[in-house]
Structure 1
Amino acid sequence: MSEQGWRQFLAAEGLQDWVVLHGGATAVFRVPSLGEATRLAAVIAQVPGLAGALLTAADDRLTVRLTRGVPARGAARRARTGDLGARPATRCRG
């Protein structure tokens, strides 16, 4: 992603949960357990057009990395509106 591309991505409405790292746009959602992380992954996996994303579940979080231009807003919305107890981790600013 070009510098202009990642700046536009981060400036877009509804993407406050995301940062852009070398590997692509990334968000970390805190959850109470590994089971909740896998349930949240299943919910996010239903976002249309999410092919090419990397979801990594851990005992207290789900990390979502977008490797192509996929719908970050949809993934973030699903994470925030579900009843799985997910909350965005503190966003890194640089």
Structure 2
Amino acid sequence: MRFWRSCLDDLAGLLFPGVPSVAVESVVDQAALVRLECRSIVEEAACPGCGSVSGRVHAWCARTLADVAMGGRQVVLVLHVRRFVLW
């Protein structure tokens, strides 16, 4: 298991260079589709409106990105991100 975790960490570094707050959770190979499941690992974030920092998670949501086919196969990136709430 440690080997696969290392491979996914290396993949995260290749896909998101300079963005240490994203982890690749899985890569699913489905014939004509490659699906990458990623998640945000940031512990807190600043509010874009007021700038206050919060670490309290309000909800999780998924953002799906699809790009042109690579090697004749569709590539889909699903990024699970946290939505924080201010108190």
The structure where strand makes up a greater share of residues is 2
Higher RCO (CA 8 Å, separation ≥ 6 residues): 1
If the length of structure 1 is used for normalisation, what is the TM-score?
0.27
If the length of structure 2 is used for normalisation, what is the TM-score?
0.28
The structure where helix makes up a greater share of residues is 1
